Every structure is written in structure tokens, then in C-alpha cells.
Structure 1
Amino acid sequence: MIARKSPMEPSTPTLPHIQLPAEQGRRAGASAAPALPGDDFQDSDQQKPRILHLGLDWGTARTVMIASWAGETTPVHNETLPTLVGYAKDGIVENLLPGNPEVLFAQDAVRHRLHLKMAQPVVNGMMGDAKAARLFAEHLRERLPHGDHVQIRAVVGIPCGCDAQAREDFREALDSLVDGCILIPKPFLAAIGARQNPPPADVNYVDPIRNSLLVDLGAGATDVCVIQGCYPSAVEQIHICGGGDALDEHLQAGLQAAYPDIQISPLKLRELKEQSAWAGTPEARPIAELFVRGRLQRVDMTQIMGDSCHRFLEKIAQAMIQLIGSADVETAPELISNILLTGGGSKIRNICRELERLLHSRGIEQAKVRLLGEAVEGYVAVGALKASQQARENQWQLSLK
């Protein structure tokens, strides 16, 4: 089990003044924490543990993990994989699945999905199927350098506004993956991951940590967060239960309304979205070939895609307006000129200009929206690794396995 400790404020010069929220003590029945890395062992033959720092973005659709050894900067592991668990269907023919496994993960689960019962470890950004989450965490550990003398210390990105139970759910799922963890909201980690330190001489460079409104558009959830140099407070974070998957649902409903006999799988729907999603006025009419009544038919996606994206962005704009309205009047002008987008949903074509238009139409005329950077799906994990490398010993919530 991962014991909850009261994390203290670090004093590292490169990590932007993270003050982690206080926890409510250890779990019931927890004993003293195990020996910490660097403690002297009485048995000279006993090998000291080697610390592997891990930055983890455990998302609804994809998981990104980047790891490096303590004291080293070069990653020894950098991987993105689907967040998916599949159980072999009852009565399946022998050797239809290579090696006759009972459970498959990630790409293997996608590849053999026809013969599997799928389970989602993460739903709407939060822990979903508890058993699937635990098995997936074990799978992640197997993919990392591991062994009896390796301790994995992970900083993990979590959605904005997680309550005590949601945090506990994350810790329980992580118990089979890590020996110690710190949970930090994803937008804050994304800002750390994208930040250049020291900042470049370019006058147009926007330091995402200084004073920005950061929006992380994930598959299962969207998180909006005010970042002003330190760990965001609860009132500076908004979690929207719905991200790219919500857009998929809007598309599905629109297609079913227009073509009641249409046949389309969730994976095909996601593929269409990633290929054709746009915000505002499209440059060209997107046409898709889909099965309707068992026959391929050319379907004009213009109206359906446009309506779906507009509904999706309206929710995000409302959350942005709420946080802007509660910002200090002295800092608000700079804040609204530094609205930064990241996550897979930020790849929607024209999304920055359309969000600007929505904000301008509501009286926030100085709003400026831009992408956090090009690596939109990697910044959370990069920031998490940076935070892991710089965390103080008394910040870690250590495992009592």
C-alpha cells in the first residue's frame, strides 16, 4: 500500500515553487515507512536500492511514461501505449490468441479486440475498472527496468479537482507499479514539461508557469487551470467530465440521427474525428465512406462534425470564462493573453482561433489562445519526470508493500 504522508514544499531552484496539498495522515493500519534510499545498511553485502524516476500520464485513451535513473538526465524508457485491458472470451478456440493468454494489454488488446472482452482502467480521466487498473499497472511495471533492487518513484498526472477518494483510487491502482508516488494536476505538469529553463531570449516566448490559463484536452476529460508560479489551489482548477470521447459521442448521435442504419465502430469513429475534426468553418467538406444498411456510402460529415465540435468547445469556453472571472484584476490582463492548449484534443484544426472567437464574443476581447507546443501529448509525462527528479525525500508517499 502507498502510505499518505504530508508532503512539504521543495526548495529546488528549477522546480517552480510546488507546494503540495496536505494529506490526512497515513492509511489505517499503516506502519512506519521502509528505509529510504541513501540510508546506510548494517549489512555491507546488502545492495542499496537504485532509484528509477518515472513521469506518468495515465490517460483514458493513452498512457505516456518516461523514466530515468536517479542522477541521470537521459531517459532509459519513453513509451506511449493505449490504456486498454482485454480478457479472453469464454470458450475461445485454443491458440487463436498467441500463447493462449487470459489477459492482453495495450496494442495487443487492440490487435485482438475481436476475441476479447474489453475493460477500461481509466474512465473520464479517473480510475475506472479497479481490477483492470491494477493489472494494467502491473503491465507497466513489467515494461520498465525493474528488479529486487530497483525502486520506482513516480510523479503521476491526475485530473484537476480530484477529491480524497479519487486520489486514494489512484494510489491503490499505482500500488503494483510504484514504490513511491506524488500526485499532481495534469495542467501544472504540462506547464513544467513545456517550460524552458532558463527561458530563451526570444521576446515572444511565453513562460507557461508565470501567469497562464492552461487547458489540457484529453480523451476522457478536459482540465482547465490557472497557473501563476506555484501549485494551483482548488478554486483555480476546473475538471470537465468529457474530452475527446464526449466529442465521439456527439458525432455518434449526429450520425445516428441522420443515418439510422449506419454501422460504425468506436475505433472507426475516433479515426474519423482525428482525421477530420475542425473548429469553426472547415477548409474543405469532409466526406467519409461508411457502411449504411450493409453498403458503403459516401457521408458528408460537414454539418455533423461542425455541430459536434461547437458543442464541445462551448463547454470549454464556459470553464475558461469562469476562471478568468475569478482571477485577480491585476493579473487578469496577462492571464487572458496567455491561454495555452495541450493534450490530444488540441490537435483539432483551427481550435485556437475558434476558442478566441468564442471568448471575444463574450466580451473577453484581449484573449489570445495558442498551443503549448508541438508535443501536445507528451508534456504531462515530461513535466512529471522533471518533478520526480527534483522532489524532496519528505514529499514522497511511500509504498508499504
Structure 2
Amino acid sequence: MAKSKGMLESNYFVGIDLGTSRSEIVTEDGIRGVAESVVGWPQDIIGLKVLGSSIAIGVTALELREFLEISFPLENGTIKEGVDRDIEAAEELLKHVISLALIPENKKICGVIGVPAKASSQSKKILREIAAKQLSQVMLISEPFAIAYREERLNNSIIVDMGAGTTNFCAMKGKVPDENNQESLKKGGNFVDQILLDALKHKYPDTQLTINIAKRLKEKYGTVESGADNIVVKLRVKGKLQAHDITEEVVHACSSFVPNIVEEIERLIMSFDPDFQVEAMKNIVLAGGMSRIKGYPAVIKEGLSEYGEVNIHIIDDETYGVAEGALKIGNDIPLKYWSQVGDMEESE
């Protein structure tokens, strides 16, 4: 970003969510941007000619993946450690996401970035170093904490952020959550996609199926309600479209990790003082793309029925929730106190 000489730089705050499937940014001016979390490079000189560039990011990389070397750098929501190509891809992805924000010149960009609740120290170190190349100030916070802050549920609440690579949990007790009050389950949308793909291949062995097709079917028809109307879609068999009933397979796949979610929420409920458990159970919040699967609140509530009255809330924006919460934290908390809230890095 070019900077005009003689003009004083001022701080400019952004919230960023680098996700396994998609990455988002929200700025203090209300600008939003989203990109698929995938980067690709041409495999040879012909690919370079077809692409017309040395790199493709987001939807373009997905659409042209047949002749690109593809990287999904944020497997399970964190940068793959020790893989140079994926680290390079993560850096290019972050640079691209920031460019979507159309940030004015002569601004010191101060970014708050959401990461999984149990991200390793090494993966956070890599991300901080990458982000410091693009941002003047960097703070990493856990994704469910960002959701809690956005929703103003900072005390006696349980946050469940259901993403593509991970599902992250957080018990909010009126303070910045520590590791004992957070958990990260390495199951999410991608896990469901694979379960669905395997089930469909078993039922329809001659049908042309890919993980991307399974993902689209889940996103459009995802449900755990077994009594719902039949889901009939047209898929290709030897190139020809034929009708397929996928109801049972969709319900099975979307239900596959509900017991894991219930188990983690149970653990967090028990972490509260008994006097506060009733209130916490009335403040369970679902966020993330997988929170839109039809019927999740009902089956989770049923799984927790032995604990008493349970209220489950779904946030109103599954796409930008983490980024908006991160931005709100950055705006509300003075820079000098950032190190008390999250992991810090400053650019040189």
C-alpha cells in the first residue's frame, strides 16, 4: 500500500477470521470481504498462460484447480506447521483478504484475528509473524471469545463456534477465557462432508461424486431432522443426470458429531459453579457456518435435557460473526491493553 509523504498515519482497526473454508475481514468503516481459503499456482508454463498470473486465490483457484497446485493452508483452522508452501499460501491469502477491505492510505492497520480455541503456540507464532508483515499491530484471540464479545454474552454463557475444520467451545465467566475454559474439537463441516461423501458412494457406487459436491449438498440441504421431506437431487451417472434420494445420508452425516458437541458442552457446564450453571445453560450460543444445519438446536437441547432448562441461541450472521467480534474487541480495548486480552505481535 503506497503512502503519501508528509501525512500523519492514524490507526485503522480491522477484524479478521482466517477459516478452514472461508476467510473474512470487517473494517471500522463497515466494509466486509470474504474469500475461499484456497491458493493455487500454475503447474507449468501452459497453466501460467491460461491463468494469466502466477497465483490464484479464492474462487478462482477452486474453479481452475485442475491445472493448479492447490493449497488449503488453514487445515483445522490453523496454518500447517512445517510446510513451507502452505505457509506461503497463508501469507498470500491474508494479503488478499486485507486487500478486499479497500483500506485508505496512510493508515496503521491494527488487526484482531480469530484463531481456534486450542491453536498451538507454534501455529500462533507463525500466524503472528505472517500478519506482522501486513499489519502494524496484531492480536490473536480465540474464535468463540470473539463471538461472545460480539453477542455481549461475557458471563455465564457457553459459546459453540461450528466451523469447517474445527468446532470450538468456550465457557465465559466474566473474564478472558483461559485454556481450562476452552476446547477445540477437530470435527466440523469438512468431517461431515467426508461422512456424506462416503455414504453416497456406498449407496450410489456408479454416481460421479467429489468432496466439493458433497459440500454443496450439505450446505444446501443439511439437516438432522429425520422426519423431514425427502431430499431428491439430480447427480451424474456416467455423465447423465439422474434423480437420487439422499435424505438418509444427509441426516446421518449431519448427525455424526452431535454426540461430541453435547459431550463438550456437558464438560463446560460442569466447569461452572453450581450456583451459575442454570444461567449458563440458558445462554448457549451457536455460531459458524455449521450452525445453520437444520435441527441442531433441537437435538443439542435434547442431548442436554438431563441438566434442566436449556436455551440455545443462533447468532444472526454465521459468516462474519468472528470477524465482527474481533473488530469490536479491537475498537473497544485500547492498544496498550491488547496484550492482556490476546497474543500480540508488532511490526517493525
* TM superposition score normalised by structure 2: 0.89
CA distance in 2, matches of 1:211, 1:58: 27
Matched, 1:391 2:333: yes
Contact 2:25–2:98 under 8 Å retained in 1: no
User: 1:242–1:357: structure 2 CA closer, same or farther, 3 Å change rule?
Assistant: same
Give per-residue Cα distances to partners, 1:330-357, cap 9 Å, x unaligned: 1111111211101100100111111111
Which of the numbers 98, 101, 116 marks the counterpart of 2:53? 101
Name the larger-Rg structure.
1
Matched, 1:183 2:130: no
Contact 1:212–1:338 under 8 Å retained in 2: yes
Aligned to 1:192: 149
Aligned to 1:223: 168
Q: Secondary structure at the residue paired with 1:139?
A: helix
**Post-superposition offset of 1:89:** 2.5
- Counterparts of 1:49-60 in structure 2 under 5 Å? 49-60=9-20
CA distance in 2, matches of 1:257, 1:221: 26
Matched, 1:250 2:195: yes
Structure with the largest fraction of helix: 2
CA distance in 1, matches of 2:23, 2:227: 31
CA distance in 1, matches of 2:135, 2:234: 45
Identity of aligned residues (%): 25
Which of the numbers 254, 269, 281 marks the counterpart of 1:324? 269
2:13 maps to a residue whose letter is H
Give per-residue Cα distances to partners, 1:117-157, cap 9 Å, x unaligned: 22112111111321110111222333344587321111111
**Post-superposition offset of 1:90:** 1.5
Contact 2:194–2:214 under 8 Å retained in 1: no
- Counterparts of 1:128-139 in structure 2 under 5 Å? 128=80, 129-139=86-96
Aligned to 1:36: none
Contact 2:197–2:210 under 8 Å retained in 1: no
Q: Secondary structure at the residue paired with 1:224?
A: strand
Matched, 1:66 2:8: no
How many residues align? The count is 334
> Which stretch shows the higher mean deviation, 270-279 or 47-56?
47-56
CA distance in 2, matches of 1:227, 1:377: 22
- Counterparts of 1:70-81 in structure 2 under 5 Å? 74-75=29-30, 77-81=31-35
Q: Secondary structure at the residue paired with 1:262?
A: coil
Q: Secondary structure at the residue paired with 1:323?
A: helix
Contact 1:191–1:379 under 8 Å retained in 2: no
Which of the numbers 37, 42, 45 marks the counterpart of 1:88? 42
Aligned to 1:24: none
- Counterparts of 1:253-292 in structure 2 under 5 Å? 253-292=198-237
User: 1:309–1:140: structure 2 CA closer, same or farther, 3 Å change rule?
Assistant: closer
Contact 1:140–1:177 under 8 Å retained in 2: no
CA distance in 1, matches of 2:239, 2:262: 39
Contact 1:259–1:292 under 8 Å retained in 2: no
Contact 1:137–1:176 under 8 Å retained in 2: no
Contact 1:138–1:176 under 8 Å retained in 2: no
2:98 maps to a residue whose letter is R
**Post-superposition offset of 1:110:** 2.9
Which of the numbers 345, 362, 377 marks the counterpart of 2:290? 345
Matched, 1:368 2:328: no
Q: Secondary structure at the residue paired with 1:124?
A: helix
Give per-residue Cα distances to partners, 1:12-31, cap 9 Å, x unaligned: xxxxxxxxxxxxxxxxxxxx
* TM superposition score normalised by structure 1: 0.78
Q: Secondary structure at the residue paired with 1:225?
A: strand
Contact 2:137–2:345 under 8 Å retained in 1: yes
Contact 1:179–1:399 under 8 Å retained in 2: yes
CA distance in 2, matches of 1:59, 1:353: 26
Matched, 1:235 2:219: no
CA distance in 2, matches of 1:227, 1:61: 26
Q: Secondary structure at the residue paired with 1:375?
A: coil
Q: Secondary structure at the residue paired with 1:92?
A: helix
**Post-superposition offset of 1:187:** 1.0
Q: Secondary structure at the residue paired with 2:236?
A: strand
CA distance in 1, matches of 2:217, 2:194: 13
